[in-house]
Amino acid sequence: MEKPYFTQLITLQATKYGGKPALLQRNNLNEQWSKITWTDFASQVNYVANAFLELGVKEQSCVGQFSQNKSENLIVDFALFANRAIVVPMYATSTVSQVEFIVNDAEIEIICVGDQQQFDIAMEVLVNSKFLKKIIAFDNTILISNSNKAIFFSELLTIGQQSQKQPLVQKRQTEASLKDLACILYTSGTTGNPKGVMLSHLCFNEAMRGNSQRLSSISDKDISVAFLPLSHVFERTWCYLCLFNGVSIYLNLRPVEISQTIQDVRPTLMCAVPRFWEKVYSAVNDNMSKFSPLKLGVVAWAMAVGKKHNVDHLRLEKAPSIFLKLRYFIADKLIFSKVKKKLGLENANILPTAGAKLSDEIALFFRTIGVPIVYGYGLTESTATVSCFEYTGYEIGTVGSIMPNLQVKIGHENEILLKGDTIFTGYYRNAEATNAAFTPDGWFKTGDAGYMNGNAIVLTDRIKDLFKTSNGKYIAPQEIETRLSLDAYIEQAATIGDERNFVTAIIAPAIPAIEEYAQKQNLKYNDIDELLALPVIHDLIKARIEIAQNGMSNYEMIKKFILIKKGFTIESGELTNTLKMRRAVILQKYKLEIEAMYNS
């Protein structure tokens, strides 16, 4: 019978790769990357596995992780898998109440933390929790209080080195089953308490098999940058896939440092969310807007050649003519290679992107210039990938073709339904939510609306996000918001219109772009509030909205909007940890302003 890959994966890979770097990290941008070889990785996994036994970790008990991306996260993961225990990741930005809920719901006795702020939050939870007993601090600079309740990760390694528990760890590994839970990932839901998604070793085994089959060009020659939170199913499963294939992983500590990290590492692999590519696209366009008419003409020519070569020929497995190859070589030399080098992506092999809607315009742009974005769709409940672009034959406008051995069908209200070994086993200790998530015959209800285009999926919107105007027209807010967010002058947008007679929006402008515009127009103002109140700025945003919504139906058009100087954030509660909008929070916070738009 097949066994879980992850109970012994790192030990097996260490035998194969030995002194090759497995994980690389740095604490500051001016530091050199410190390397952990596969041999060291395996040793630390074994030591920590032993230490967890010394601390009383039982089979199928839960251990929490509350940290930004660090090598210790992955060491702890595989030490827990070796013990048949369960890892419960939490977002590094989580609040006391969020951590407390997860600790109590999963009955976590041990939690690992990354920095001082996370330690302080965990200690506050420990004082009030009847479950939490021990904190493990990854960073040796953390000021530990109440030392009998906390130890450093380095101390954990020492405990493991001195332990005699290795035979019991090995016994647990031999008894491991694909039915064992590997991970409980708490969704940061837009409403109510989060739900613990239970992912078994079977889910991850099948995810490794399916993704390796689909993305067959991944090899141990690749290097990947991890900058999305490891607490997110996308980055976590991607890193597991990289380790499964012998890929070296550079762990980006702080999201704000990602641009510099990419420049320094020049990765071949990296997963990202559409927002990342929207910002890159906006920056490239902003740079090109300063070109002379002659250079813009060269760019237009190059883009036409790139589309014909990469999208119209290679995508469809048609051989480009010698003349087209020559023109593409010139276009790449003059334009594309320079853009890719400036971005740090000239070595890119595969760049998966998912987590939200990626506009067709952006997908086409990057594919045209030879940046291999692999757009896909997935959920925490499906162990990430449901579908993604293949190397050839992908269709712009879809989220790619269905993964191997996964079943998809369209249900009531065009809801996408799933069946397969990557589908979760249910929500932890929440039978009511689990029952509601599945049809009577066992199909998982994604909550996403869409339709099939051959073997590919076309997403339309989140069913619960759809709203209906008082005129009976259904509006898909994400489609409008995605269009608006592509504009250089608009940072964020939230559309409103449920049970209203027209659509309105709350717009967070891109303040630096607005300030630059004001300077060019010689506008006088004392602060940002005065700037955003100027009629000329209102007219600018109105014009940009009209351009973004060109071609949409009249009933979808934004008729009125307000400008806010500070965008939606996780800290304010307006965004989830995965940057999805909590519409109910936004509607409540701006209730008076919204009513004013409809009553004026």
Q: Which helix (H) or strand (E) holds 110?
A: strand 110-113
Contact 480, 472 (CB under 8 A): no
Note whether 269 and 222 are within 8 A (CB): yes
Strands 110-113 and 134-137, by their bridges, are parallel
Under DSSP, the state recorded for 335 is: I
Give the whole-angstrom CA distance, residue 35 versus residue 19.
10
Q: Residue 94 — φ and ψ, nearest 5°?
A: -65, 150
Structure token pair of residue 413: 């209200």
Q: Is 165 helix (H, G, I), strand (E, B) or coil?
A: coil
Angle at 366 between CA 220 and CA 580, to 5 degrees: 85
Residue-level pLDDT at 192: 65
For residue 472, give Cα distances in angstroms to 194, 287, 480.
32, 43, 18
Check if the beta carbon of residue 368 is closer than 8 Å to that of residue 391: no
Q: Cα separations (Å) of 88 from 187, 347, 425?
A: 11, 34, 15
Whether 188 and 91 have beta carbons less than 8 Å apart is answered as yes
User: Do 189 and 573 meet the contact criterion of CB atoms below 8 Å apart?
Assistant: no
Residues 383-402 have a mean pLDDT of: 96
Confidence check: pLDDT of 1 > 50: no
Rounded Cα–Cα distance for residues 224 and 310 (Å)? 24
Residues 369-382 have pLDDT tens digits of 999 999 999 999 99
Chain-wide mean pLDDT for the chain?
93
Q: Name the DSSP letter for residue 556.
A: G
pLDDT in tens, 87-131: 999 999 888 999 999 999 999 999 999 999 999 999 999 999 999
- What structural domains does the chain harbor? 5-257 (3.40.50.12780), 466-599 (3.30.300.30)
Consecutive H or E run containing 384: strand 384-388
Helix-, strand-, coil-residue percentages of the chain, each rounded to 5: 45, 20, 35
Tens-digit pLDDT profile for residues 136-190 = 999 999 999 767 899 999 999 999 999 999 999 999 999 999 999 999 999 865 5
**Amino acid at site 260:** Q
pTM assigned to the model: 0.87
Helix and strand totals (H; E) in the chain = 22, 26
- Length reported for the chain: 600
pLDDT above 90 covers what percent of the chain?
A: 79
The per-residue pLDDT for range 436-468, each reduced to its tens digit, is 999 999 999 999 999 999 999 999 887 777 777
Q: What is the pLDDT of residues 43-86, one digit of tens each?
A: 999 999 999 999 999 999 999 999 999 999 999 999 999 999 99
Nearest CA among 26, 34, 106, 32 for reference residue 65: 106
At residue 350, φ and ψ (nearest 5 deg) are -140, 135
Half-sphere exposure (CA, 13 Å, Cβ side) for 68? 17
Q: What's residue 272's pLDDT?
A: 94
